[in-house]
Structure 1
Amino acid sequence: MGIRMDEVMRQPFLEEATVVAGNDLLEKTLVEWVSVMEVPVENFIRKHEFVLSTGLGCADSSKALEEFVKDVIHSGASALTIATGKHVVEIPQSVVKLANEQGFILIEIPWKIRFSDIIQEIVQLLNDEKENERHNAEQVRQQLTDCVLNGGTLEDIISRLHEHIEMPVAISDQKQKIRANCDFDTGVIDTINGFTEGTIEKVTPPDLPFSEHPLYYHLDQYDVNNQRCYELTIYSNAKKQGYLLFMPDHPTDLTWYTMNLLEHGLTACALYFLTENAVELTEIRLKDNFVLSLAKEKQDLDAKWLSKGELLGYDLSLPYVCIVGQIRSKDNDFLPKESERDQSMQSSLHSLNYYVQKEITHASQNLNRQTMSTFDHGEIIIFLEIDHHPHQETVNHFLDMIDRRLHDQLAHTDIAWGIALHQEGFQVFNESYQEARTALDIHIEQHGFGERTFFEDTRVNRILLTMSNDTKIVDMMKETIGPLIEYDQKRETDLVHTFMTYQKYKGNVSQTSRALNLHRQSLLYRLRNIENLTKLSLIDADDSFLLELSVRLWLMHKIK
């Protein structure tokens, strides 16, 4: 903001003025205000003021006038105009010499020119200039906004901004990767990011010639390899989206007007990122809803569905295996459903989904396989492209990559997986999901978290699930192990697990006690307790089979 001194000197009210020093400085000196000042100066003059004086108090001493001029120069004023004829008859040569040596504009006007006329005209010029700058800035703001709303790119935004601020400018994303650039030295950014060696210093607070504009207080300044650049952070939706970088030739180029333009550029960039994020989020939601419908709704995959999948980048004609995962926090067991979660837990789940999705993408790219994936309240649903047979090797390789990388990033979580390829093969997404979910439920109930279960390996359990639909068999199961379950619940013991571990090691007491980390006598005590509660003998093959069958049915009944 301001007008040049040569413009001031061309005005009619200064026709009789004489520039006695600094005539070559008129074109590059700005005036931002006008004031009248006499001795003493002290701190009453601010930078870029056009100062008027009668020389009152210096009439009898050229030395006093010289000291007065020196104080005006040191205040940062743009120029000093002295009215001669009364207090100062003529400006001494010593004062003219001082002004020339200091590179300062010194003007002489006749006594008859009224200061009020000068002040009025300069204030009018300043107001006109301010209104012109406001109008121009508004036009730039409209151009930048229209650029975004009409589908312009970041390159379009930066080109328009560069045209008006006339300095190198660039836009980077939140990871400081350059998205758009106009004449900005990318080597400076590489040095800031640590990609290349060089000297770098972050100057705090920034070394700026002005402080009035609000945006000055949000600037970061970097001195890089003897070059100076500035950075503003781009925010939208209260999130850091990227950075606006610019490199003026000199800090004085960052005028109020330039800062206004940069502020409009910052707003346009924020709007662009907001629009970009909205488009991305819309696409993600469309894909999530599409995959969720494939998995959880029985669909007739007609040409309409195939076409919709193609629009979203999915080829439904390929063979897919369904993989269902369940995330568990080691501190919170299962991640609760959305209705039971507070805001902190919801944010945590979103973060987990982000990491898992990133690893799904990484693994699919490495295997050169298409994937369709979504998340539903802590449940991960993946359809992975496979060859017809065998598919287990491909799935294991895919999940190995995900589990290995997630283990490093999410040390406090476990994931269990259920996998199914429906026997009919193609386009049976809902059936594959149901089978994968069943395999997952069986796995979690029997083995807890970690590892994975293929549906085709759960034939015994599926037979038990079918048997659990018979009420007479269920009643027999409850009668057999009811006392055992009741005892575990009341005493907070785990005799059921003890028995199943005993069966796993085919009745070998030593191996069972080691697996359960129990003393041999403690294990024998538990086994006798099981026999007493169930009235069955563990050394009798029929009794042992009946008890194991009942336990397995009970577990299957819990899954249902």
Structure 2
Amino acid sequence: MGVTVENVLRLPIFEQAKVLTKITDKPVQWISVIETPVENFVRNNEFVLSTGVGCGDDVTALEEYVKDVIRADASALAFATGRYLYKIPDRILKIAEEHNFMIMEIPWEVRFGDILHDVLRLISEEKQTGQQRAETIRQELINCVLNGKGLQEITTILYDNTHIPAAISDHNKQIRANQQFDRYFLDVLNGKENEAFQLVSPEPFSDHPLVHYIEKYEIGPHFCYQLTILSNYKKQGYLLFKPEEDHELSWVDLSILEHTLTACALYFVKENAIEMTEIRLKDNFLLELAKTEVDIDKSLLAKAHLLGYDLEKPYVCLVGDIRFKKQIDGPVGSEEHSVQSSSMHSRNYYIQKEVTHAGDVLKRQTMTTFDEGEVIVYIEADANTYPETANQFLDLVERRLHELLAGITISWGVSCHKDGLYNFHQSYEEAATALNIGRQKHEDGDRTFFSDTRMNRLLMALSHEKEIEFIVQNTLEKLIEYDQRRQTDLIHTFIVYNKYNSNVSQTARALNLHRQSLLHRLRNIEQLTGLSLLDADDLFLLELSVRLWMLKKIEK
């Protein structure tokens, strides 16, 4: 608690002093000589010396002076009697007793300068002792983190040295440690209880720098304080504490709270570094598993086990292409969230979180990694039900993701189920191929199963034949050049026309074109290719050439 009135009275210089009212245990943070008028010259917990000059025999003026000192929340008032005052009136003492305020007399011969010197030295020594104590606790807190201990140990050190109940939460308001802090207050602040609370500006109760960062919550007739834990300007969590009264927070207590805040920030930085290292190890492991043909031996299985993976289960691979439809501003989770302005790390965090959640719901193991705008997921699946499992899994992921990240779409490619184990690279290649084929055929956000791409894979095999490649080039060369030169899209026009089985009206509606404009485009296609869209063989040749040409674009 620091220096108190009782400590001051034990000084030898006060041996001849006479205490006229009850001695209080109020803290003494400063001492000064103040005469009338008091105004705002007296601060909280200040030991006031006075000669009573200006009041003289005017008891009413003396009464107002004493009341002003009491209102300023001073620690005590000492009058030097013998010249301006010879006796403190009983009515003054009665007022002091009513306010539990201490008044004392000092012989006129005792110099104020000597009193100031002795009291200030006592305050300085106590402050130095407090600083040394706070420094010892600071080192204990730092060592606690460096030695691998957790947030609960940090709150224990704080409570043992201050007796202030405290709790620590992460940035999501999840309680990570609690030491005698009322759980009801935590539930109110986290919305688990219906009682209202409000954030108010705390009245300054100290000149410690930490006071400016303290937030005060009022919960009915009660209150508690909160400090934000920051590192690299990023919010890591919160330190909550609840002293019985404001005045219980001494300078030393505030210094210990400040050191606790630093220890918490260090702990979260260390935790984040460990988490990021684990994420990098997992990413590198899964990327190597997916993109290279590796031998699955005992050593690799053991490494996978250390990372929390079981490679001896059957998996199918899902490869997703992450895209954004629009950009809006606002907080995560609202309709105004800007996914394009959010960091890749944050975006991947939400995707990883929802993949894990969906796997838990379906009771299937999952393994996830990211690579240049691509998400790669292995999900445990049975041979007969893997399409159903994949669709259920993706339904869960996408429904929750669209609530968290407005504007995001993910197109998916899904591999076939393998009867044997350890086909991770082959599964990835199949899923990536299915994704590439699906992106040419569907809108963003669709799913393509490798088992449904047989026709396209057959065409891809044909497209590598030299003679077929020559036929395709000869058929489409002028059409491609015309599109590039005129910034038109005749090839897309033909694709839509063929999709609607040569129905002009349906094609015009799909392309949002006037019927005559569509007919003009179709005539251009016939002139440039030398083929008739009314001849079945010509139509087949043009369709085959366009599909082979588009598959070649996918490979590039």
* TM-score (ref. length: structure 2): 0.91
Q: Which residue of 2 aligns with 1:426?
A: 421
Please state whether the residue corresponding to 1:46 is helix, strand or coil. coil
Q: Which residue of 1 aligns with 2:316?
A: 321
Please state whether the residue corresponding to 1:30 is helix, strand or coil. coil
What whole-Å deviation, never above 9, does each CA across 1:345-368 have from its counterpart, x for those lacking one? 574433332332222112211111
> How far apart are residue 158 of structure 1 and its match?
0.9
What whole-Å deviation, never above 9, does each CA across 1:457-516 have from its counterpart, x for those lacking one? 222222222222233322221111111112222223222122223333433444444444
Structure 1 residues 141-540: aligned runs within 5 Å:
141-203=138-200, 205-210=201-206, 212-331=207-326, 347-421=342-416, 425-540=420-535
Q: Is the 8 A contact 1:292 1:374 kept in 2?
A: yes
Which range moves more in the overlay, 346-355 or 454-463?
346-355
Q: Does 1:132 align with 2:140?
A: no
Please state whether the residue corresponding to 1:76 is helix, strand or coil. coil
> How far apart are residue 433 of structure 1 and its match?
1.2
Q: Which amino acid aligns with 2:272?
A: N
> How far apart are residue 524 of structure 1 and its match?
3.4
Which range moves more in the overlay, 31-40 or 420-429?
420-429
What whole-Å deviation, never above 9, does each CA across 1:216-245 have from its counterpart, x for those lacking one? 122221221311211111112322222211
Length, aligned pairs only: 545
For structure 1, which runs of at least 5 residues remain unmatched after alignment? Answer: 333-342
Change (3 A) 1:46 1:400: closer
2:41 to 16, 41, 44: 44
What whole-Å deviation, never above 9, does each CA across 1:306-361 have from its counterpart, x for those lacking one? 111111111111111111111222249xxxxxxxxxx9957443333233222211
Q: Which amino acid aligns with 1:486?
A: E
Give the share of equivalent positions with the same residue, in percent: 52
Q: Which residue of 2 aligns with 1:119?
A: 116
Q: Does 1:5 align with 2:1?
A: no
Q: Is the 8 A contact 1:20 1:106 kept in 2?
A: yes
What whole-Å deviation, never above 9, does each CA across 1:285-318 have from its counterpart, x for those lacking one? 1111111111112211111111111111111111
Change (3 A) 1:361 1:45: same
> How far apart are residue 551 of structure 1 and its match?
1.0
Q: Distance in 1 between matches of 2:536 and 2:529?
A: 15
Q: Which residue of 2 aligns with 1:338?
A: none
> How far apart are residue 191 of structure 1 and its match?
2.1
Which range moves more in the overlay, 113-122 or 71-80?
71-80
> How far apart are residue 117 of structure 1 and its match?
2.2
What whole-Å deviation, never above 9, does each CA across 1:20-79 have from its counterpart, x for those lacking one? 1223x2xx1221112223344443332322222333344555555444434433333222
Q: Distance in 2 between matches of 1:17 and 1:188?
A: 47
Change (3 A) 1:483 1:383: same
Q: Which amino acid aligns with 1:4?
A: T
Q: Distance in 2 between matches of 1:13 and 1:217?
A: 37
Q: Is the 8 A contact 2:205 2:246 kept in 1?
A: yes
Change (3 A) 1:42 1:503: closer
> How far apart are residue 534 of structure 1 and its match?
0.7
Q: Is the 8 A contact 1:438 1:455 kept in 2?
A: yes
Q: Distance in 1 between matches of 2:51 and 2:492?
A: 104
Which range moves more in the overlay, 31-40 or 507-516?
507-516
Please state whether the residue corresponding to 1:317 is helix, strand or coil. coil
Q: Which amino acid aligns with 2:457?
A: R
Q: Distance in 1 between matches of 2:547 and 2:12?
A: 105
Change (3 A) 1:92 1:331: closer
> How far apart are residue 104 of structure 1 and its match?
2.0
> How far apart are residue 99 of structure 1 and its match?
2.9
Q: Is the 8 A contact 2:339 2:347 kept in 1?
A: no
Please state whether the residue corresponding to 1:21 is helix, strand or coil. coil
> How far apart are residue 382 of structure 1 and its match?
0.9
Q: Distance in 2 between matches of 1:201 and 1:294?
A: 52
Q: Distance in 2 between matches of 1:33 and 1:207?
A: 19
Q: Is the 8 A contact 1:320 1:421 kept in 2?
A: no
Q: Distance in 2 between matches of 1:46 and 1:402?
A: 60
> How far apart are residue 126 of structure 1 and its match?
0.6
The RMSD of aligned alpha carbons is 2.4
2:80 to 59, 70, 83: 83
Q: Distance in 1 between matches of 2:34 and 2:406?
A: 71
Change (3 A) 1:376 1:54: same
Q: Is the 8 A contact 2:505 2:515 kept in 1?
A: yes
